[in-house]
A = this chain, B = another copy of it.
Amino acid sequence: MIQPMLLLLILKKPTHGYELIQSFNALHEDEIVEPGTIYRNLRRMEKEGFVLSNWEATETGPARRNYAITRAGLKALQGAVLKLKQQKKEIEDFLTEYSDLAAKEGHSDEN
């Protein structure tokens, strides 16, 4: 889940890790992700050729490593989308089975 979300964020707007952490955890208010995890995912994706980084000097603070998505990254994102569609279907099937059984057996939980 983390990798595709990062790829999508970078695709929407190429940026650096620190801002990605903010954006990521803004959507994920509940279960926040550690900075270290984000940084490591970015470096991993760069090693795999899904993103490219270049340092940018700033006047207001430390230098930033900016990320942009590559063609391979787009392919990876498309692949991840397919997997997520599949995963969504599996979850739906599971929830359906659960609801059916709960309805029959009376482990009622409907809201």
Contact = CB atoms under 8 A, between A and B. Distances in A.
A interface SS class: helix
Contacts of A5: 94
- Range class of the A interface residue count: 20 to 34
Assembly stoichiometry (copies): 2
Contacts of A22: none
A95 B4 CA distance: 10
Contact of A95 (B28, B88, B92): B88
Contact of A92 (B74, B77, B88, B93): B88
A19 interface: no
Contact of A107 (B1, B74, B97, B107): B74
Interface string A82-111: 001111101111110110010000010100
Interface of A: 1, 4-5, 8, 11-12, 27-28, 30, 74, 77-78, 81, 84-88, 90-95, 97-98, 101, 107, 109
